[in-house]
Structure 1
Amino acid sequence: MDERWRADLALWGIPDEIAARARTNPWGHSPARFAERTDRALAEPEGPTRARIAEALPEGGSVLDVGAGTGAASLPLAASLGELIAVDTSAGMLAELESRAADLGVPLRTLVGRWPDVAARTPVADVAVAAHVVYNVPDLAAFLAELSGHARARVVLELTERHPMSWLNPLWAHFHGIVRPERPTVHDVIAVAEALGHRVRHEERLAPLSRFATLEELAESACRRLCLDAERADEVVAAVVRLDMWPVPRDRWFTLWWESK
């Protein structure tokens, strides 16, 4: 099952000849944009992921947030947190998280690195969460096994139903003649977790916000992801309109969880 996941995920790679033309990292993420999402989550804390963490978290308990970004999944629980352990590959993301944790009075420990590479030096917590991370993880079984091994009570995942770059599929075909795959999906994640012996429960909902507020914002993102020069933004907008892609439908988000005991 894990080998199928790895093979399906590999098909989402960008061909070398296209990647070579990119002026910016097509897989990059902006700490500032992630911070905006975290601030919205702090202003209106809601949703099943937060609820599933909260119900397993003792008062003053600890949360391990893997792929924490700027803290959107964990900081909304600030009032109940005795410690937040945040792991991310981006020091810039963690710097944004540190600023917000300090404002909220949340004791914080950060580790810069990739999970599970840093698992050996990461403390165990009451609840472990990984939100919108798994589609970046080739070795999913090892990732989930270490996550479970670092949670005293519960593991919680949040992810989109399909690969988060699926919205770009018509544009990949239009600009590069590439047909993107249909898998992996959330159901493959569930299958890998169940193969590890976990009883996985899940809840789904529409994403709380649209992916883009404007066509211009969409075009900027699409140019970067498609390895197109920014000057081609007008072409992207025209293609989006012609392909009837606007507004981009909201993703379906899934919350998965299982008890680690």
Structure 2
Amino acid sequence: MDERWRADLERWGIPEEIAARAPADPWGHSAARFAGRTDRALAAPGGPTLARAGEALPPGGSVLDVGAGTGAASLPLAPAPGELIAVDVSAEMLADLTSRAAALGVPLRTVRGRWPDVADRTPVADVAVAAHVVYNVPDLAAFLTALTGHARHRVVLELTERHPMSWLNPLWRRFHGITRPLRPTAHDVIAIAEGLGHRVRHESRPAPLPRFDRLEDLAESACRRLCLGRERAGEVIAAVVELDMWPVPRDRWFTLWWEPASGPDPR
């Protein structure tokens, strides 16, 4: 199953001849966009991911957030965490998270690097979370094994039901004549975790917010992801309207959780 996952992810790669013409990194992420998500999560904390993490977190317990970004999946647990351990490859996002944690009075330890490469220098925590990360992970079994090994009480994942770039599929066909894959999905993650011996529970909900508030924001993002120059934003908007893609349907978000075999089930 894990090899199928890896092969499905590889099919999401961008052909070299298209990537070579890209004026900007098509896989790049905006720290400002992540920060906006964290601001909204702090202003109105809720949802199953925070609930499943929070109910397994003992008073003064610790949280490991892998792929933490600016802290949307962990900082809203404040003031409960006695310590937040944040792992991310981006120094910019970890710096933003550091300032937010200080403002909330949450003790923070940061580990810069890619999981599970940095697992051996990352402390074990009571609860481990990884939100919107797994579609960037080719070796998912190793990722989940290391994550589970770093959680005393519970592992919590949050992810979209389908690959987060799936909304662009009609535009890939329009501008590049490419048909994008339909897999992997959240159901594949569940199958891989269960194959590792975990008793996985899950629930889903519509994404709490629309992907874009304005067509112009969609066009800016689509141009980057499609390796198009920003001057083609008008063409993208015209295609989106013609293909009846606006407004972009909300993703379905899945929350998955399980307890490590050696730990108690707190529910």
TM-score of the two chains, using structure 2 as the length reference = 0.97
Partner of 2:11: 11
CA deviations over 1:73-101 (Å, ceiling 9, x no partner)? 00000110100000001011111111100
Letter of the structure 1 residue corresponding to residue 61 of structure 2:
G
- Structure 1 stretches of 4+ moved >6 Å: none
Please give the alpha-carbon distance, in whole angstroms, between the structure 2 residues aligned to 1:197 and 1:48.
23
Letter of the structure 2 residue corresponding to residue 148 of structure 1:
T
Q: Percent identity?
A: 81
Partner of 1:123: 123
Please give the alpha-carbon distance, in whole angstroms, between the structure 2 residues aligned to 1:63 and 1:15.
38
Mapped pair 1:138 → 2:150 = no
CA deviations over 1:176-223 (Å, ceiling 9, x no partner)? 000000000000000100010000000100000000000000000000
Instruction: Report SS of the residue matched to 2:79.
Output: helix
Partner of 1:186: 186
Instruction: Report SS of the residue matched to 2:87.
Output: strand
Please give the alpha-carbon distance, in whole angstroms, between the structure 1 residues aligned to 2:88 and 2:122.
12
Please give the alpha-carbon distance, in whole angstroms, between the structure 1 residues aligned to 2:36 and 2:96.
10
Please give the alpha-carbon distance, in whole angstroms, between the structure 2 residues aligned to 1:95 and 1:246.
35
Please give the alpha-carbon distance, in whole angstroms, between the structure 2 residues aligned to 1:225 and 1:183.
18
Partner of 2:31: 31
Partner of 2:101: 101
Partner of 1:238: 238
Partner of 2:79: 79
Please give the alpha-carbon distance, in whole angstroms, between the structure 1 residues aligned to 2:251 and 2:32.
22
Structure 1 residues 158-169: aligned runs within 5 Å: 158-169=158-169
Mapped pair 1:110 → 2:104 = no
Please give the alpha-carbon distance, in whole angstroms, between the structure 1 residues aligned to 2:22 and 2:253.
30
Letter of the structure 2 residue corresponding to residue 71 of structure 1:
G
Q: CA RMSD, aligned part only?
A: 0.4
CA deviations over 1:45-103 (Å, ceiling 9, x no partner)? 00000000000000110000000000000000011010000000101111111110000
Please give the alpha-carbon distance, in whole angstroms, between the structure 1 residues aligned to 2:143 and 2:135.
11
Partner of 1:223: 223
Please give the alpha-carbon distance, in whole angstroms, between the structure 2 residues aligned to 1:146 and 1:210.
33
Which sections of structure 1, spanning at least 5 residues, go unmatched? none
Please give the alpha-carbon distance, in whole angstroms, between the structure 2 residues aligned to 1:185 and 1:156.
17
Instruction: Report SS of the residue matched to 2:82.
Output: strand
Letter of the structure 2 residue corresponding to residue 194 of structure 1:
E
Q: How far 1:23 moved relative to its partner?
A: 1.2
Q: How far 1:18 moved relative to its partner?
A: 0.3
Which sections of structure 2, spanning at least 5 residues, go unmatched? none
TM-score of the two chains, using structure 1 as the length reference = 1.00
Letter of the structure 1 residue corresponding to residue 18 of structure 2:
I
CA deviations over 1:132-177 (Å, ceiling 9, x no partner)? 0000000000000000000000000000000000000000000000
Partner of 2:56: 56
Instruction: Report SS of the residue matched to 2:256.
Output: strand
Please give the alpha-carbon distance, in whole angstroms, between the structure 2 residues aligned to 1:124 and 1:112.
16
